[in-house]
Amino acid sequence: MSDKSHDSDDSEDILKTAAAWRDQGKSVALATVVATWGSSPRPVGSQLVIDEDGRFQGSVSGGCIEGAVIQEAKAVMTGGGVRSLEFGVSDEQAWEVGLACGGTVRVFVERVE
């Protein structure tokens, strides 16, 4: 039995996927949750890998936040640079955007070289 936590296994899988997609010649971006306040469905360190064809693996939140992160990742792949994204909602808006209740999530998006 492994002494690794489930989250570290997920992170290793996502990084392996990123490397495999790059080895196939694809443009790839990696999104990582770098901070949360209040409610957040995914903890700091959670990752999402996206390729130029729109394939993705992992999760940084769910709901429309994930869709917005994927769009920013595509921009990073084509235009370069990095993005620091922050999503915050009130309790009233939380269910609409995929958070269990009000909270803030900060996600860093970078191109995988």
The one-digit pLDDT tens for each residue of the chain (113 residues) are 333 334 445 778 999 999 999 999 999 999 999 998 877 778 899 999 999 999 999 999 867 788 899 999 999 999 989 999 998 765 555 556 555 556 788 999 999 98
Q: Which of 90, 101, 107, 86 is nearest to 40 (CA)?
A: 101
Are the CB atoms for 106 and 35 separated by under 8 Å? yes
Please give the span between the terminal C-alpha atoms of the chain, in angstroms, as a whole number.
Answer: 33
Cα(21)–Cα(27) distance, integer angstroms:
8
Token pair for residue 75? 């921009």
For residues 44 and 88, is the Cβ–Cβ distance under 8 A? no
Three-class DSSP category at 105: strand
Number of H helices, E strands in the chain: 3, 5
Residue 104 and residue 108: Cα distance in Å, rounded? 14
